[in-house]
Amino acid sequence: MRVLFATDLHGLPRHLQELADWAGVYRPNLLLVGGDALPDGDVADPVGTQVRFLLTEMRRHFEVIKDRSPDSNIATIVGNHDWLCTYDAMIDLERDGLLQILPSDNAPLFGEYSFVGYSYTPPCPYAVKDFERLDFPGQPYLFDGGVIWDRQRGRPVPVNAAVYLGAAPSLQEDLARVPVAASLDWILVSHAPPFETDLDILPEIGHVGSRSIKDFILQRQPLLSLHGHIHESPGLSGRFWQRLGRTIAVNPGQRDDGLAAVLIDLAEESITLTPLGIAGASGGSPVTLARPAAWGPA
């Protein structure tokens, strides 16, 4: 099985074009988009900007991908830059058979692998809070301002983010409810990367990933965990993957000047990661990793 994984496209036209081109060249069984695919647009009008972009530009590019690579499935999660109204609009694309949103509670199968999606991130300075949660109960909240999409009123509303997030389940509590995968060959797609790894480094700040995601990976040991959110990390650490117990965790990051992605070949005996345009991935050479005989808790 061949998976093409790209994340954090942020609505950049060249990135969308390259994604469609690469899907045509590599013809993956599954194209995975790991959240934050849309431009930020106007915080006062997410429907007129972000939702419109999803239903026009993104739809058009996904249709091109389906046209060039008819056997490719497309699956996605959302990220912290995405609004709840965008998620609702994505359900329309799902109904049209264009993509599948990966849920956390009912992992769909692609080939012999089941995929669990997880969109929430720990708190960030970005204003939109729809897909943010405290990492763990009682985590101190350090940022000002906040806005969420009010489904009933159909418009954005400002919130006191410390109060709002304090009342919601934390990532730790939320992840504890994710059903244990039926198959050992399951794959986690989580927008936030695990804390204190080569995959979660910001310039001048350091490690900003999620402690709860890391604990979840170490406890549940998916075959692969695929991340984004911290675009700069591979360029800073020089690595786009690392092992966490038996799990191979990957963050291809993203660049401003062209698409970064990873092509993942899942074979019976091995897993090959081919970096495509990833900053810090020396020479872009493929990495082939042996698969342990049995996957399970380390």
Q: How far apart are CA 115 and CA 226, in angstroms?
A: 10
User: CB 191 → Zn ion: shortest distance, Å?
Assistant: 8
Exposed e or buried b for every residue in 192-208, given b needs 16+ CB within 10 A? bbbbebbbbbeeeeebb
Q: Which is nearer to Zn ion, 76 or 221 (CB)?
A: 76
Q: How far apart are CA 131 and CA 134, in angstroms?
A: 10
User: CB 12 → Zn ion: shortest distance, Å?
Assistant: 11
Q: Which is nearer to Zn ion, 41 or 220 (CB)?
A: 41
Q: Which is nearer to Zn ion, 8 or 200 (CB)?
A: 8
User: CB 10 → Zn ion: shortest distance, Å?
Assistant: 6
Q: Which is nearer to Zn ion, 8 or 132 (CB)?
A: 8
Provide the token pair at 172.
């730790």
Residue 82 near Zn ion by CB under 5 A: no
Binding segment for Zn ion among 35-43, 83-91, 153-161, 277-285 (CB under 5 A)? 35-43
Q: How far apart are CA 292 and CA 65, in angstroms?
A: 34
User: CB 7 → Zn ion: shortest distance, Å?
Assistant: 7
User: CB 77 → Zn ion: shortest distance, Å?
Assistant: 12
Q: Which is nearer to Zn ion, 36 or 185 (CB)?
A: 36
Q: Binding residue for Zn ion (CB under 5 A) from 2, 11, 32, 36?
A: 36
Q: Which is nearer to Zn ion, 80 or 197 (CB)?
A: 80
First to last CA, the chain: 24
Residue 8 near Zn ion by CB under 5 A: yes
- CB-side exposure of 202: number of CA atoms within 13 Å? 12
Binding segment for Zn ion among 36-44, 59-67, 266-274, 279-287 (CB under 5 A)? 36-44
Residues ≥6 apart with Cβ < 8 Å to 65:
19, 20, 23, 24, 31, 72, 74
Residue 132 near Zn ion by CB under 5 A: no
Residue with tokens 């390259």: 18
User: CB 280 → Zn ion: shortest distance, Å?
Assistant: 17
Residue type, 249: A
Calculate the alpha carbon distances from 53 to 10, 59, 84, 165, 183 in Å: 11, 8, 15, 28, 36
Q: Which residues bind Zn ion (CB under 5 A)?
A: 8, 36
